[in-house]
């Protein structure tokens, strides 16, 4: 459950909170379903009305929630103070003891869940939620491997949940199951040992070098690195680079692999930056599932993420047509009537 | 933290929640401070901005929050669906793992807290929150006994928190510390062994019998029993009876003790019934502290509780003048301008 | 300017206020314009945007505001806490020093204002606003007398503005200009010396006696008395009686005058009782202007006032068709689609 | 699309409108899906974002919207002024030229739609929407007959859409396809020639007589008659009677058929009466589908309708447990925590 | 009727809509009335309360609505998603079958409507609404010609309503009646055959050339071309050029005609761009009516349009003083207190 | 009382107003209390509920309101239209006749008020409120001098309240009591005779010259000058310079006095600029009270003021940690979670 202080109010001023439901993996599922792909959510929410309201929120966009277990004590909550310009967003997490952290092996019937599936996506916040979630995740990943289901992993490190060391150790154990990695140069340096002695500034060139180094060591089928810088006044500059490790996933006209493609950096004045990484991930997954070219895939993913910044809430509620329009370099800034 | 679905919406329909801060003991502290008495809150809230917002909410009404410990993982939350007529309120508690449940002996400097105090109030939800809260409560009660501070206990049994058996066992251990008991005939029957074989209907006569039985066994200085019945359409009928066990607390013109006084039953169409029991408790404490007569004390307490039903939120934000006006039998229904 | 605490909130809880514009005479003008009659407002509001917003509010319903003077320091304000059931409305007036209290003789061009007019209405709050308003009112009344314009006066005594003695003295000086009086038995007793030794309960019989006594002494063309009682739970019971002093104003089939007619008492659960007296006055003026029978006039006026209770804000925004429907004894309670 | 004036505001006062999506058949589908049954909606909505938002609204409660055709010019709209007490709701319909009125035979693939279905429900507003809707409805009914799918018809006559004569002629043509009829004594009299010379007051006795007369003539498997009266102050009194024409649908312990059962009349202070008839219909369909006894079926249906009156919006968002609780005579008026 | 998704929400997210009333010609009438000129609206709205609410909206700003016909099926509606930065506004029109599209010759009493008028303004959306509106427009234009009333035409081509070819054919038939044309270089190229082979970029020089070419062919008394470009991040750059074809309308110090004047390009971060073209048109009409110089007229018109971008809703609610202040090059950005 | 038109609405459009409580001195008191310092407010507010609500607003942030006198006719009000980009904020003051303007010598018990205090702050709007406020202020200043309490004066000239001449005369009489002056180069020129013949552009160099000139003439312990310029699109550029006249107040490593330090100019897109000067003053007072270095003091003050621009309402609700973070040159623009 996401609870938002209104407008640019501080928590200290608010007397009501916007209520919505969101989460990294759920955001990806919603974006894919909204774009017409079939997506299923695997999670656990309490049996009370707020748990039902949570499922409604995903179901309205077409996500299949029939495999979400019901029970346990509570919904995880995060409180969002959106901020503005010089004062960026502040998030207070309140998810200790949520129903999802208490999943048990019996909650999920993996054979039925993955029946007919060809992609499995998870983020780095799931393994941060404790042993039970990790056990369930591990079980899922083994099922995926057995059935040849592509696995994507969005690093999404949250320092409020665990240390870099703890996260790194856990992440590295998961890597053998991962086909598609989504992260940043900093993630590569912090968690996966890619230290090219560059300074902290990320450019297409540094990203390409890091991507190739990471790929040569771990052999992913695809890696997406994004880079976000924020100006003093709070404008964002967002760019991404994609490495395709092998020719099988996309149309690439017979290029020699690994191929690396880039986007230019896009200036953004964000309305809501939460969920933009999930929009990027969903855009990547869609392009890879549909066999688009690396550049088209990356452009779509970046456009989805950029447009997400203009939409309140976690969900990337832009249509394929709108995203393609934007990705093709045509603005959506004019009035459409 | 209290989060309210707007108007008569169901949780399943809401997209925003009213945010306020409340709790049984805090409500009593706010009412007393609002009426001009000095009150201090003892609790523990997280060190983040929502914890600060919580203290602000109490401080604005004049409650001294300087003894509230800061730290721990989270604020306890309760979600309120207010309902209407045939569909009464629904509350979803979410307070597992709150900062208050993790209080430690070092959080409270009791000698300084009770310095200058002459009353200590707690409700039956506090001891339901686990061993640590119980230990802190026990320590407080021993300090109170040592310093001759009057202790009031509002039974407030919540079946969502524990069973009747668990609660009864805990409550009975606390009784020796209690001077003033606030509850109902059903509480007397369920927890304190007063079984007069009457049926479940509560009348002034049955309440008086139960009060005298309870007093003769446990020797409280005062006991207040309230009774609430609710009609099919959701109208409430609210009444109370007060036993004064000894002459020392109030002006009673030399009557023979124990004295029992009653109020008539008042019809109420509630706007918000949460916190009305706390208004009753605060009204009782005020009357006893100021040495008012039993009947004046009970009338004020009932009037405070009745008017609370007309006020959104947990707090009994009616003035002493308004409550006295109502308690004296004059309506507040006419426009005041 | 009227500023409303939201819903049933107390002023102590509110963080926003509903803003509208209203006033006794303006409410009558709006109702009459809404019913298709021509009405002009005479007042004074500041030259800034809030003054303009005030005129917009009247103009949207068709009131001619072209004679409202612009200038002076401020708009009079009243704050409304609507209350509910046992806790009735509370109004805080803040109109000291308003632009209207500082009207000067030059602000109003009476010959042009009353050109083509055949009715002039004022309430008892206007003369409470000081010497300058009184002087302007006096000038208006003299113009009305000279041009044979019917004058109605709604007593509307507000104890927050002045004492019974001050008000009575002023009111009695105005009576010679008044053709149609709107008030209550209590007004007759308090201000106009009609003391029939009855107790305070008003019935059709007592109202008829008072009306006849008042008429025999002062010779009004028409007098309307309303009576409102409020139950403990805040339900209202509203009734009215009308005396027609002479046959000239209405269709009355040659009855012997003075004629007195009554309405039954109507039970009301008010949404907003402010402005209901003005709806009654507007209904009376409409019936008299259109020459309806005394009973039809009174029924329409009462129906307008009853329906006003169901409408938020000061204005009686019910159509003639709706009011006639209700006045004819047919309910408007069924869904209309 | 349903657009609501806020609170008890008149259309003349509103500056925002609550937006939701609803419709007779959709409301039934939502209630059934919310209660765990599978339901599909057949309709047509525009291809733009508001059409998508409409489908989201149904999908969130689990209704299968995959057979809703997309296209056409517009969504039908109805504007709702909710009213209060003496001033009941007012609805302004704006559905001329909606996409649904322009359905074509190609829009619906009936064989796939009814695959696996065992019930088909429609209301009397559908055939009021013109020839194209009628043709589609006719086609659907013929498919249902061919596949033995039970058909229920809720008369729902709307005088704003067509005359009694037009409606009657159309309705009578549809009757041969109908297994279960939902309406009132007045419907029986107006449209189906059951004239028992009773006055307009409906009682269990008059309803039973009308039900038996209607059944003996038309041979329905089940008929439900409801009766609603509204007091002067806007309280509703709601009751229903059910005739079961044959033993096959329900558990009835071998009673002789037709069986007629009744509910007592329940007093209601409505928050939102729109959609309450659909809640009744959904409750009936559920009972018949699950083979409950006539009395249990009727009690559940009435309880669903009564609780719907307490819920804003068209949807009957009460759980099976809540409705059963209420239907079993236990109040839901107490706080549940 | 204009219905706005709140803030920067997408239609897919909204649960309420802001309600206002607007339309191209009405916006011009409101601006002129707000600036103290007399303006009348000619239209047709339904006889129900929403139609009345529409008239109220115009009347509050002083527009004379007494010639608006009442009747017909519905109000035209447009839904607005305001967007932000990279995602510009989206408008869904829903005006098929509106009352205005069904105007009949009897609805308008042109001799009385144009009595005392010296200006008639219409936009290019009116003739797009079908034969009946076109017939009424034609009748109005003939009355204007006969009585020497200046006619202004704002091209306002909307591709959602008709094709460039259809619009061009209709527009060209109307040109002989038009004295003052408001549009853009693109309009001149698309509809009026001014093809100067320039690329699509509009500059003062290209605008001047187009204006002179258009004037030399059609002989308008005045032509205003505006140009809007939008940056990738959604900032607007707005400029305008005005050709005065003859000396009679304005103070121009004896310059040789046609005179062409320009404004610099102004950067705008729009709050609401809808209605800005109408503000420009109203500013132009005002300057021409008051005989201001071409440069002063154009500066005022552009300033009105720029300030309109900062105001939510369609109406240019800025005062003459504010617009003049801005037009004279002094900013309004500092706090005014 | 501060009443805000919602969002970027004009007063002419609003139907509700945000309600908060604020004032120059109160804002400083709230900021200091929020940062953990003890602060007391001296003022007078009416005895009704809105007066109480005002005190609650300050008390929630920890300000001691026990010395605020109760009584008098009304609260001063200011209405705020926030504007946006090209259309800056507009404030309508309505504080004539407020309770504070009618303070009497008996309202304040200065010896008790200043007991334990070591700082007294006032702004230039207080002496603008008439003789009674001036007398009270004079009395306070004399008490301060007698007890060695540091006095700071924020010039805050408001042209709506009085002329430059009147203000200057009054300000100059107060200077002998002032230790710390807060203003601008323009204030120095307008009120205090520092005319260095520079043009109106303020730079660090011109500010330093003016500061030194003012100090050499009047001998203040510290002077802070801020400078704000606003771009055409409404971006602000804010900078400040601080002169320390003597070594006693701060840690300055033995620099030769007077010392002058500067901040760079910071670009701001303001959410709410009201109260930013008070945030600056509070930051200065805090630094001086805590003995920070001149540069650290000025940096903190500027950071507090810059962050205040991002916060709705008058209060500088940023924490010491946040302000220090920003003051140290690290952005707060990234998401904090």
Please write the tens of the pLDDT for every residue from C255-305. Answer: 778 999 999 999 999 999 999 999 999 999 999 999 999 999 999 999 999
Nearest chain A alpha carbon to E273: A335
Report, as an integer, the average pLDDT of A253-276: 91
Please write the tens of the pLDDT for every residue from C65-123. Answer: 999 999 999 999 999 999 999 999 999 999 889 999 999 989 999 999 999 999 999 99
The single-letter DSSP state of residue A115 is T
**E170-194 b/e with 16+ CB inside 10 Å = b?**
bbeebeebbbbbbbbbebbbbbbeb
Cβ of residue B56 closer than 8 Å to a chain F Cβ: yes
Nearest chain A alpha carbon to B13: A53
For residue D92, the Cα-to-chain-centroid distance in whole angstroms is: 19
Q: Give the pLDDT of residue F253.
A: 66
Question: Sign of the C-alpha dihedral, residues B323, B326, B332, B336?
Answer: negative
Q: Give the pLDDT of residue A337.
A: 85
Is residue C252 very low, low, confident or very high in pLDDT (cuts 50, 70, 90)? low
> Can you give the pTM of this predicted structure?
0.96
Q: Is the pLDDT of residue F251 over 70?
A: no
* Residue D68, token pair as written in the block: 């809703």
How close C289 comes to chain D (CA, Å)?
26
Fold of the domain spanning B23-74+104-327: 3.40.1190
Report, as an integer, the average pLDDT of E236-240: 98
In A278-307, the residues whose Cβ lies within 8 Å of chain E are 306-307
Mean pLDDT of chain B: 94
Phi, psi (deg, nearest 5) at residue A301: -60, -45
Question: Cβ atoms within 10 A of the Cβ of A25, count?
Answer: 21
How many angstroms separate the CA atoms of E334 and F90, rounded?
9
Report, as an integer, the average pLDDT of F153-172: 95
Question: Sign of the C-alpha dihedral, residues F131, F137, F138, F139?
Answer: positive
Q: Give the pLDDT of residue C245.
A: 87
Angle at B296 between CA B295 and CA B297, to 5 degrees: 90
Diameter of chain A by CA atoms?
A: 59
Among F7, F47, F53, the strongest candidate for a mutation testing the C interface, having the largest count of C CBs within 10 A, is F53
How many angstroms separate the CA atoms of F121 and C171, rounded?
50
Q: Give the pLDDT of residue B197.
A: 66
Diameter of chain C by CA atoms?
A: 59
Show Cβ contacts of residue A173 under 8 Å, excluding neighbours closer than 6 positions.
none
Mean pLDDT of chain C: 94
How close A150 comes to chain F (CA, Å)?
30
Question: Cβ atoms within 10 A of the Cβ of D142, count?
Answer: 12
Please write the tens of the pLDDT for every residue from B118-161. Answer: 999 999 999 999 999 999 999 999 999 999 999 999 999 999 88
Q: Give the pLDDT of residue B227.
A: 97
Please write the tens of the pLDDT for every residue from E78-112. Answer: 999 999 999 999 999 998 899 999 999 899 999 99
How many angstroms separate the CA atoms of C188 and C200, rounded?
12
**E203: enclosing H helix or E strand:** none
3-state secondary structure of E220: coil
Tell me if B253 sits within 8 A of B279, measured CB to CB: no
Nearest chain D alpha carbon to C308: D87
The single-letter DSSP state of residue F220 is -
* Residue E150, token pair as written in the block: 């200046």
How close F42 comes to chain B (CA, Å)?
17
CATH of F24-72+108-327, one of 3.40.1190.20, 3.40.30.10, 3.30.70.1380, 3.40.50.460: 3.40.1190.20
How many angstroms separate the CA atoms of A178 and A218, rounded?
10
Q: Is the pLDDT of residue B250 over 90?
A: no
- E284 preceded by cis ω (within 30°)? no
How many angstroms separate the CA atoms of F53 and B216, rounded?
46
Report, as an integer, the average pLDDT of B225-232: 96
Q: Do E86 and A312 touch (CB under 8 A)?
A: no
Of residues F15, F19, F90, nearest to C14 (C-beta): F19
Q: Give the pLDDT of residue F126.
A: 94
**Cβ-Cβ contacts under 8 Å, D79 against chain E:** 50
Q: Is the pLDDT of residue C199 over 80?
A: no
How would you write the pLDDT of chain D (337 residues) with one tens digit per residue? 999 999 999 999 999 999 999 999 999 999 999 999 999 999 999 999 999 999 999 999 999 999 999 999 999 999 999 999 999 999 999 988 999 999 998 999 999 999 999 999 999 999 999 999 999 999 999 999 999 999 999 999 999 889 999 999 999 999 999 999 999 999 999 999 898 866 678 999 999 999 999 999 998 999 999 999 999 999 999 999 999 987 665 666 667 789 999 999 999 999 999 999 999 999 999 999 999 999 999 999 999 999 999 999 999 999 999 999 999 998 898 998 8
* Residue F143, token pair as written in the block: 């008490």
**ipTM score here?**
0.93
How close E21 comes to chain C (CA, Å)?
13
Q: Do F19 and C19 touch (CB under 8 A)?
A: no
Q: Does domain A1-102 have CATH number 3.40.1190.30?
A: yes
For residue E279, give the nearest of E24, E91, E1 by alpha carbon: E24
Cβ of residue C336 closer than 8 Å to a chain D Cβ: yes
CB pairs under 8 A between B and D: 75
Cβ of residue F311 closer than 8 Å to a chain A Cβ: yes
Q: Do E60 and C62 touch (CB under 8 A)?
A: no
Of residues B56, B61, B62, nearest to F61 (C-beta): B56
Among F30, F59, F311, F313, the strongest candidate for a mutation testing the B interface, having the largest count of B CBs within 10 A, is F59
Report, as an integer, the average pLDDT of B43-62: 97
**Cβ-Cβ contacts under 8 Å, E21 against chain C:** none
3-state secondary structure of F189: helix
In E62-101, the residues whose Cβ lies within 8 Å of chain D are 73-75, 77, 79, 81, 90, 92, 94, 96-97
> Which segments of D4-130 does DSSP mark as H helices, in order?
24-34, 49-59, 110-113
Please write the tens of the pLDDT for every residue from E175-222. Answer: 999 999 999 999 999 999 998 866 678 999 999 999 999 999 998 999
Q: Give the pLDDT of residue E245.
A: 87
Range name among B324-333, C24-33, C268-277, F264-273 with the lowest pLDDT average: B324-333
C-alpha distances in Å from residue A335, one per residue of A329, C101, D221, E84, E273? 17, 49, 56, 11, 8
Q: Give the pLDDT of residue D119.
A: 97
Cβ of residue D17 closer than 8 Å to a chain E Cβ: yes
Q: Give the pLDDT of residue D251.
A: 63
Report, as an integer, the average pLDDT of B250-257: 68
Class of the E219-337 domain? alpha beta
**Cβ-Cβ contacts under 8 Å, E59 against chain C:** 59-62
Nearest chain F alpha carbon to A159: F337
Fold of the domain spanning D1-23+43-102: 3.40.1190
For residue E179, give the nearest of E209, E156, E149 by alpha carbon: E149
Q: Do E96 and D74 touch (CB under 8 A)?
A: yes
Q: Give the pLDDT of residue E63.
A: 97
Burial of E29 (0-12, 13-18, 19+ CB in 10 A): buried
Angle at D43 between CA D37 and CA D45, to 5 degrees: 125
For residue A149, give the nearest of A127, A108, A180, A171 by alpha carbon: A180
DSSP D235-304: -EEEEEEEEE-STTSS--TT--SSEEEE---EEE--S--TTHHHHHHHHHHHHHHHT--HHHHHHHHHHH
Q: Do C230 and B334 touch (CB under 8 A)?
A: yes
> Which segments of chain B does DSSP mark as H helices, in order?
24-34, 49-59, 110-113, 131-146, 164-174, 185-192, 204-218, 276-289, 294-308, 320-327
Q: Give the pLDDT of residue E28.
A: 98
Nearest chain B alpha carbon to C160: B337
How many angstroms separate the CA atoms of D286 and D296, rounded?
11
DSSP C142-181: HHHHHTT-EEEEE----TTTS-HHHHHHHHHHHGGG-SEE
Among C52, C57, C321, the strongest candidate for a mutation testing the E interface, having the largest count of E CBs within 10 A, is C52
Q: What is the percent of chain A with per-residue pLDDT over 90, rounded to a whole number? A: 88
How many angstroms separate the CA atoms of F139 and F127, rounded?
12
**Chains in touch with F (≥3 Cβ pairs < 8 A):** A, B, C, E
Tell me if C268 sits within 8 A of C276, measured CB to CB: no
Query: Within 13 Å and on the Cβ side, how many CA atoms surround D167?
Result: 21
Q: Give the pLDDT of residue D197.
A: 66
**Cβ-Cβ contacts under 8 Å, E306 against chain F:** 86
CB pairs under 8 A between E and F: 74
**Cβ-Cβ contacts under 8 Å, F7 against chain E:** 312
Tell me if A12 sits within 8 A of F315, measured CB to CB: no
Question: Sign of the C-alpha dihedral, residues F316, F321, F327, F329?
Answer: negative
Tell me if C88 sits within 8 A of C234, measured CB to CB: yes
Report, as an integer, the average pLDDT of F266-292: 97
Nearest chain C alpha carbon to E337: C48
Is residue F162 very low, low, confident or very high in pLDDT (cuts 50, 70, 90)? very high
How many angstroms separate the CA atoms of F196 and C214, rounded?
79
**Cβ-Cβ contacts under 8 Å, C335 against chain D:** 88-91, 273-274
Fold of the domain spanning D24-42+106-327: 3.40.1190
**Cβ-Cβ contacts under 8 Å, D18 against chain E:** 15-16
How close A60 comes to chain E (CA, Å)?
10
Please write the tens of the pLDDT for every residue from F188-214. Answer: 999 998 988 666 789 999 999 999 999
Q: Is the pLDDT of residue C160 over 80?
A: yes
Cβ of residue D334 closer than 8 Å to a chain B Cβ: yes
DSSP B241-259: EEEE-STTSS--TTPPSSE
Please write the tens of the pLDDT for every residue from A209-233. Answer: 999 999 999 989 999 999 999 999 9
Show Cβ contacts of residue E280 under 8 Å, excluding neighbours closer than 6 positions.
E182, E224, E226, E240, E301, E302, E304, E305
Show Cβ contacts of residue D145 under 8 Å, excluding neighbours closer than 6 positions.
D151, D177
Among E12, E86, E125, the strongest candidate for a mutation testing the A interface, having the largest count of A CBs within 10 A, is E86
Q: Do F92 and C48 touch (CB under 8 A)?
A: yes
Mean pLDDT of chain E: 94
Question: Cβ atoms within 10 A of the Cβ of E7, count?
Answer: 15
Q: Give the pLDDT of residue E200.
A: 74
Enumerate the domain spans of chain A. 1-102
Place of tokens 């303001």: F270
For residue C283, give the nearest of C22, C2, C34 by alpha carbon: C34
Cβ of residue A312 closer than 8 Å to a chain E Cβ: yes
How many angstroms separate the CA atoms of E48 and F306, rounded?
52
Q: Do C14 and F79 touch (CB under 8 A)?
A: no
3-state secondary structure of A30: helix
CB pairs under 8 A between A and F: 74
Place of tokens 């967002």: A238
> Which segments of chain C does DSSP mark as H helices, in order?
24-34, 49-59, 110-113, 131-146, 164-174, 185-192, 204-218, 276-289, 294-308, 320-327
For residue A256, give the nearest of A245, A272, A240 by alpha carbon: A245
Q: Give the pLDDT of residue C198.
A: 62
Please write the tens of the pLDDT for every residue from D226-272. Answer: 999 999 999 999 999 999 987 665 666 667 789 999 999 999 999 99
């Amino acid at each position: 459950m996401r609870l938002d202080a209104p407008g640019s109010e501080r928590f200290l001023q608010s007397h009501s909170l916007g209520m919505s439901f969101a989460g990294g993996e759920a955001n990806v599922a919603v974006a894919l379903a909204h774009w017409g792909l079939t997506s299923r959510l695997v999670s656990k929410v309490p049996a009370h009305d707020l748990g039902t309201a949570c499922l409604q929120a995903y179901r309205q966009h077409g996500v299949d929630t029939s495999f979400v277990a019901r029970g346990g004590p509570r919904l995880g909550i995060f409180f969002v103070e959106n901020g503005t310009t010089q004062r960026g967003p502040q998030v207070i997490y309140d998810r200790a003891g949520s129903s999802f952290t208490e999943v048990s092996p019996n909650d999920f019937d993996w054979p039925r869940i993955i029946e007919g599936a060809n992609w499995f996506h998870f983020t780095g916040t799931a393994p941060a939620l404790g042993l039970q979630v990790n056990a369930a995740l591990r079980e899922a990943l083994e099922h995926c491997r057995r059935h040849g289901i592509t696995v994507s992993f969005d690093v999404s490190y949250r320092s409020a949940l665990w240390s870099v060391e703890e996260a790194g150790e856990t992440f590295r154990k998961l890597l053998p199951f991962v086909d598609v990695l989504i992260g940043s140069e900093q993630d590569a340096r912090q968690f996966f040992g890619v230290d090219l002695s560059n300074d902290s500034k990320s450019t297409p060139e540094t990203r390409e070098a890091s991507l190739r180094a990471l790929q040569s060591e771990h052999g992913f089928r695809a890696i997406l690195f994004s880079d976000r810088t924020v100006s003093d006044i709070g404008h964002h500059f967002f760019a991404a680079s994609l490495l395709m490790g092998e020719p099988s996933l996309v149309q690439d006209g017979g290029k020699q692999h690994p191929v690396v493609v880039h986007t230019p950096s896009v200036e953004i004045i964000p309305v809501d930056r939460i969920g933009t990484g999930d929009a990027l991930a969903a855009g990547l997954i869609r392009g890879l599932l549909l066999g688009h070219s690396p550049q088209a895939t990356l452009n779509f993913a970046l456009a989805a993420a950029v447009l997400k910044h203009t939409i309140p809430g976690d969900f990337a509620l832009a249509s394929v047509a709108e995203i393609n329009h934007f990705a093709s370099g045509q603005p959506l800034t004019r009035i459409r009537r």
